Amino acid sequence: MDEYLQMFLSEPMVRKLVIVVIGAIVIITIKNLLRSRIGKYVKDRNNSYRSKKAVNITGYFLIVMFVLFVYIDDLQGISVFFGIAGAGVAFALQEVIVSIAGWIAILSSDIYKAGDRVLLGGIKGDVIDVGILRTTIMEMGSWSDGDRYNGRIVRIGNSFVFKEPVYNYSSDFPFLWDEIKIPIKYGSDYQIARTMLMEVAQEVVGTYAEEAATYWKEMVRKFLIEDATTHPMVTLVANDNWAEFTLRYVVDYKKRITTKDELFTRLLERIEKEGSSVALASATFHLVEIPSVEVQLKKEDGR
C-alpha cells in the first residue's frame, strides 16, 4: 500500500495538486479564524463589516497566488492556450467582468458603501452588502409609501455604476431638503401664519440646520457648489383657492417621514390655538351656470 502511495505521489502533477489542496485548506482555515475574531476586537459595525470583507478578499487572493506559484513552471507551456481561451471567456463573461470592474470602482472611490441609502438601477433602499458581482439592497417604497422598508431584498449587478446614474442620499451630505405646503384661507393674518411656521420649524428641525451647515461648509470646500442656506425658509404664493405657504427645511435622510409628521402635528395644534386669526383652507367649487334641459312628453296613444 505504501509503495502505491509513493508511486502516486511521485507523479509531479499529483504532488502539486496535493500541495495546492493542503495550502488552500490552510489559507481558508486561517481566514475563517481571523473572521471569527474580528467581532471581538472591532466593535463598530461598519468597521467590522469592512474588515471581514477585506479578510475574505485577501484569503481568495492568497489562494490564487499560491496556485500560480505552485504551477509557475507549467504556465509557460500553456500560455498560448490560455490566451486563446481567455479571449473566448472574456467575450462570454463580459457582464461579469464589467461587474467586477464596477466592484473595484465602488471600493476605490466614493460612489457608495454599505449602509448608504441609494437609488440604483431604479431601486431605492439601503445598501446592506457590496459583493464582487452584485450589490445587495434592502428596498424601500414600491407598494409602501414613504422611506420605509418593504421587506424585499434586491441584488443589482455592479455593472450598473457604469450604465446608470447612482443617487446617494447619505455620502458627503447626510441631509435632505424637504418641503411641506400649508393652505391658508384668504382673510387670515398672514404674518402670524408665517411666524407660526418659522417657530415650529425652529423647534423641530433647528438642530438639523446647525449640524447640516457644518457638513455643507465641507461640501463647498470640496466641490464647485454655491453656499446654500440650511436654515428653514418660508415662502408664500397666492392661487385661485387659498394662500399657500411652503416651509423648506433640511432633515436627516433617515428621519424625513417622522419629521414631516411632527411638523404637521405641531402646526395643526398651533393653528387651532390661534382661533380665527389663522384658518386652514379647503377646496371649494362655485357653480356658475346650469345648462338648459329640453324635456319631451309622450302621450299614451303614441302621439
Q: Where are the domains of the chain?
A: 2-92, 109-168, 175-274
The whole-number pLDDT of residue 236 equals 92
| pLDDT tens per residue across span 185-241 | 888 888 988 988 998 988 888 888 888 888 888 888 888 787 788 888 999 998 888
Residue with cell 509557475: 72
Maximum mean pLDDT: which of 71-85, 176-190, 273-287 = 176-190
CA-closest candidate to residue 154, choices 117, 189, 128: 128
Question: Per-residue pLDDT averaged across 129-144, rounded?
Answer: 84
Residues 6+ apart with CB under 8 A from 226: 220
C-alpha radius of gyration, the chain, whole number: 33
pLDDT band at 11 (very low <50, low <70, confident <90, very high): low
- Type of residue at 181: K
pLDDT at 165 over 70: yes
Instruction: Report d(CA 125, CA 151) in Å as an integer.
Output: 10
Res 187: pLDDT:
85
Q: Cα separations (Å) of 62 from 23, 24, 162?
A: 10, 9, 29
C-alpha span between 209 and 242 (Å, rounded):
29
Mean pLDDT of the chain: 79
Q: Is the pLDDT of residue 110 over 60?
A: yes
Asked if residue 80 has pLDDT above 60, the reply is no
pLDDT confidence bin for 298, thresholds 50/70/90: low
> The domain 175-274: what is its CATH number?
3.30.70.100
Which of 56-65, 132-141, 151-160 bottoms out in mean pLDDT, i.e. has the lowest?
56-65
Task: Name the residue with higher pLDDT: 107 or 183.
Answer: 183
235: helix, coil or strand?
strand
Which CATH number applies to 109-168? 2.30.30.60
Contact residues for 54 (Cβ-Cβ < 8 A; gap 6+) = none
The confidence band for 8, taking pLDDT boundaries of 50, 70 and 90, is low
Residue 299 is predicted with a pLDDT of 60
Instruction: Please compute the mean of the pLDDT values over residues 134-154 and round it to a whole number.
Output: 83
Compute, in degrees rounded to 10, the torsion defined by CA atoms 263, 265, 269, 272.
100
The reply to whether 175-274 shares the fold of 109-168 is no
The rounded percent of the chain whose pLDDT value lies above 90 is 4
* CB neighbourhood size of 238 (10 A): 10
Q: What is the mean pLDDT of residues 28-44?
A: 76
Q: Is the confidence at residue 71, as pLDDT, over 80?
A: no
Confidence of residue 23 (pLDDT cuts 50, 70, 90): confident
Q: Which residues contact 283 (CB under 8 A, 6 or more apart)?
A: 241
